[in-house]
Amino acid sequence: MATLHSNIPAGPLSQKWEKHKFSSKLINPANKRKFKVIVVGAGLAGSSASATLAELGYEVHNFVFHDSPRRAHSVAAQGGINAAKNYQNDGDSVHRLFYDTIKGGDYRAREANVHRLAEVSVNIIDQCAAQGVPFAREYGGLLDNRSFGGAQVSRTFYARGQTGQQLLLGAYSALNKMIGNGGVKSHTHSEMLDLVVVDGHAKGIVVRNLQTGEITRHSADAVVLATGGYGNVFNLSTYARGSNTTAIWRAYKRGACFGNPCYTQIHPTCIPVSGDYQSKLTLMSESLRNDGRIWVPKRKEDCKKNPADIAEGDRDYYLERMYSAFGNLAPRDIASRAAKYVCDEGRGIGDTGLGVYLDFGESIRRLGEDKVRERYGNLFAMYHEITNEDAYKTPMRIYPAVHYTMGGLWVDYNLMSNIPGLFVLGEANFSDHGANRLGASALMQGLSDGYFVLPSTIATYLSTVKAGSRPGTDGAAFREAEESVRAFIQRVSSGNGKRTPDSFHKQLGKLMWEYCGMARTESGLKKAIQLIGDLREEYRTNVKFLGAAEGWNQSLEKAGRVADFIELGELMCRDALMREESCGGHFREEYQYTAADPEVQQGIVNVGDVKRRDDQFAFVAAWEYAGAPDKAPILNKEPLVYEEVKMSTRSYK
């Protein structure tokens, strides 16, 4: 069994972070130059961490499989970033952001980490504004805010529908400055394929150059993984096609525990699937729900009508009806399940019946088309480009899709995994969002971890490492890791089966969506575990390899990533099967509120809302690799102890 120490500081919740920083060991500037840190990933978390660590004086090596850090998937984030600035004077505070995030995650996040995130949020906006990030501003020049799901205040800062892109350009400029100064050595086209563990500590990585095929070893005093989420296990998602789980999965197989892998987020506002030929899905920002109203026809027979021909009285604005206090800005898990519910009733729209309307007619009449265009113009243009429909004149068609993963490698309060020296940032870790992430919180976590948290906590580990003791890459652990990588490549490249990696990925995605998607059951999850196990064995013997193992070969890249997705998919199903409750984005059909429950009769929740079992499942599930893909993983538990907030029935009515 793995040993899990959360290392949460003692003392009042509001003072933990400041006291922890003061009591943590430091490294003087001259000694920082003696330590080398590897950072894998260059999105918001990876770029900000690399730049900040280099500014502090550490020798930093950044690895990214893209041709430029600017390609990182953080660029695709649209709607905004949360911060408890209270510029709107509407009652926001650090505590309210903390509480909204804990409640939004359905009381399955670590309390101390979330409070720190809320504290640090106010610094992020100052940092990014100083970098020149062009946040939207009010007429008088002050920074503007808008609302996002799960909150009744306006705390989201934004740059039209391109917030991720603008924030990444800010982090990228900071990274480039340090690359130019020699503080960061950038390794592009470099994919991490294994973690090197020496005497129980993370001391390096093995990478493959995607252009040349060269495999190289790299040692360091600490390794930081900031490689994003694993939602592409579903094949169809809003992730970039290159997003993968390989870095954190290979670390898991070296001993890092995987926390809450079944916690995946289904985003309610995405362009619906239109055919089996699609390779990805497209997000339409949650910010659209500020001014767009979601509805379906009240009668099944109206679903094929032109929406303009459906009278106002024949429309069901179901989120406003079911969750009146939050309406169209209900949290993502709730809004997604509600969309599935009305579509399952036969009231979905579009050719497939899997869609609902997002209507801006009322806002255009109230604000004028120019104001709506000013707020969301690029999003409307994107929608038109994909669907050839004018959302200024006819409602958008949307449906839920996989968008984010709350699970990830387990980390302690210092963001270090159970492998000493291995740190995990952003979406790659599990720590801040529980069972459901609120909108505009992903960018907040990535930049919090990279700019402010890791630079303060990494010294806690490095101060225990003797400067100059970094192992050489000719050691036994490095040789074994490289041999393992080469053996895998050899096995895949010698495959002469009949199916491509893409065909396996598509089959896995359908299994995951059907059995481990928006709704899950015991029987379905057991079936999925068996089917994915069979798929894993077929993949081993029947995958078809194209091209050569040397040089640029995307078939080889996909082969490794799909193999990891298949194994991860099985772990996700095991985690979902073990967790016999519903919470946030994890919806077990056996555990939902019914008309007989007093919470429904008292008007706290609706029939069909998720039903937690705090007496049995108020813990983080940290899974440990058992040594082989066909062996059942080992479950470790970190109890969730709440000092400030009382676990209660989550209500948005």
* Average per-residue pLDDT for the chain: 96
Give the count of beta carbons closer than 10 Å to the beta carbon of residue 29: 9
Q: In angstroms, what is the C-alpha Rg of the chain?
A: 24
Q: Which contacts qualify for 376-381: CB closer than 8 Å, 24 or more apart?
A: 376/160, 376/161, 376/285, 376/287, 376/288, 376/291, 377/160, 377/161, 378/160, 378/161, 378/162, 379/78, 379/161, 379/284, 379/285, 379/287, 379/288
Mean pLDDT lowest among 38-42, 282-286, 404-408: 282-286
In 3D space, the residue among 423, 411, 406, 404 whose CA is nearest the CA of residue 622 turns out to be 411
Query: What are the DSSP calls for 157-212, one per residue?
Result: E--TT-HHHHHHHHHHHHHHHHHHHTSEEEE-SEEEEEEEEETTEEEEEEEEETTT
Euclidean distance between CA atoms 234 and 257, whole angstroms: 22
- Tell me the CB-side half-sphere exposure of residue 293, using CA atoms within 13 A: 15
Kindly report, residue by residue over 591-616, the tens digit of the pLDDT: 999 999 999 999 999 999 999 999 99
Q: Is residue 324 part of a domain?
A: yes
Q: Are residues 357 and 273 in the same domain?
A: yes
d(CA 516, CA 578): 13
The fraction of the chain above a pLDDT of 70, given in percent, is: 100
Give the pLDDT confidence score for residue 97 in this predicted structure: 98
Residue 545 has pLDDT above 90, yes or no: no
Model pLDDT, residue 551: 87
Q: Which residues contact 630 (CB under 8 A, 6 or more apart)?
A: 533, 536
Question: Please, which residues have CB within 8 angstroms of residue 628's CB and are 6 or more apart in sequence?
Answer: none
Task: Determine the Cα–Cα distance for residues 22 and 18; give it in Å rounded to an integer.
Answer: 6
**387 plus 483 within the same structural domain:** no
d(CA 256, CA 409): 7
Does residue 536 sit within a domain?
A: yes
Give 551's contacts (C-beta < 8 A, 6+ positions apart). 211, 212, 213
User: Domain check: are 503 and 600 in the same one?
Assistant: yes
pLDDT at site 495: 81
Taking the C-alpha atoms of residue 349 and residue 331, their distance in angstroms, rounded to an integer, is: 22
393 and 480 fall within a common domain: no
State the Cα–Cα distance between residues 519 and 61, nearest whole angstrom: 42
Residue type, 171: A
pLDDT at 274 over 90: no
CATH of the domain at 274: 3.90.700.10
pLDDT at 102 over 90: yes
pLDDT, tens digit, 9 for 90 and up, residues 161-183? 899 999 999 999 999 999 999 99
How many folded domains does the chain comprise?
A: 2
* Residue 552: exposure state from Cβ atoms within 10 A (0-12, 13-18, ≥19): middle
Shared-domain flag, residues 516 and 613: yes
Helices (H), 323-475: 332-342, 361-367, 369-387, 442-447, 454-462
Q: What does the pLDDT average to over 610-639?
A: 97
Residue 506 and residue 604 share a domain:
yes
Position 369 scores a pLDDT of 96
> Alpha-carbon distance 298 to 316, whole Å?
5
Domain boundary (378, 402, 426) is at 402
pLDDT attached to residue 278: 86
Residue pair 60/41 in contact by the 8 Å Cβ criterion: no
Q: Are 592 and 498 contained in the same domain?
A: yes
Question: Is residue 22, in this structure, part of any structural domain at all?
Answer: no
> Measured between alpha carbons, how far is 438 from 152 in angstroms, rounded to an integer?
12
* Statement to judge: residues 352 and 485 lie in one domain: no
pLDDT at 496 (0 to 100): 86
Q: How far apart are CA 120 and CA 111, in angstroms?
A: 15
Burial profile 426-452: b = 16 or more Cβ within 10 angstroms, e = fewer: bbbbbbbbbbbbbbbbbbbbbbbbbbb
pLDDT at 279: 87
Number of helices and strands (H, E) in the chain? 19, 19
Considering only CA atoms, which of 258, 251, 257, 253 is closest in space to residue 203?
Answer: 251
- Checking if the pLDDT of 332 tops 90, the result is yes
Residues in Cβ contact with 92 at an 8 Å cutoff, skipping those fewer than 6 apart? 84, 85, 86, 153, 154, 155
Question: Token pair for residue 602?
Answer: 């008292």
Query: Of 347, 367, 402, which marks where a domain is finished?
Result: 402
Three-state DSSP class for residue 476? helix
pLDDT reported for residue 550: 86
- Collapse the DSSP code of 399 into the 3-class scheme (helix H, G, I; strand E, B; otherwise coil) and give the result: strand
Asked if the structure places residue 431 within a domain, the reply is no
Q: Are residues 499 and 598 in the same domain?
A: yes
Report pLDDT for 276: 82
Q: What is the mean pLDDT of residues 244-268?
A: 98
Token pair, residue 507, equals 């089959």
How many whole angstroms separate alpha carbon 151 and alpha carbon 121?
A: 16
Helix (H, G, I), strand (E, B) or coil at 629: coil
Selecting among 293, 332, 337, 588, the annotated active-site residue is 332
Confidence of residue 494 (pLDDT cuts 50, 70, 90): confident
Find the CATH number of the domain harbouring 591: 1.20.58.100
pLDDT at 255 over 90: yes
Let me know if 332 is a catalytic residue. Answer: yes
- Residue range(s) defining the domain that contains residue 321: 267-402
What pLDDT was estimated at residue 275? Answer: 82
DSSP state of 466: P
Q: Decide if 425 is inside a domain.
A: no
Asked if 428 and 226 count as a contact pair (C-beta separation under 8 A), the reply is yes
User: Is residue 133 in a domain?
Assistant: no
What's the pLDDT score for residue 326? 95
Residues 387 and 485 in one domain: no
Looking at 402, 427, 446, the residue that finishes a domain is 402
Give exposure, 94-131, as e/b (b: 16+ Cβ within 10 Å): bbbbbbbbbbbbbbbbbbbbbbbbbbbbeebbebbeee
User: Is residue 231 domain-resident?
Assistant: no
Mark whether 480 and 391 lie in a shared domain: no
Sign of CA dihedral 483, 489, 490, 491: positive
Q: Dig out the tokens for 214 from the structure.
A: 């060269």
Give Cβ neighbours of residue 318 (< 8 Å, ≥ 6 apart).
294, 295, 296, 338, 342
User: How many residues would you count in the chain?
Assistant: 653
- The three-state secondary structure class of 39 is strand
H or E element in which residue 297 lies: strand 293-297
Residue 597 lies in a domain: yes
pLDDT at residue number 161: 85
281 with 390, same domain: the answer is: yes
Neighbours of 15 (CB within 10 A): 12
Spatial distance between the Cα atoms of 217 and 194, rounded to a whole number of angstroms: 10
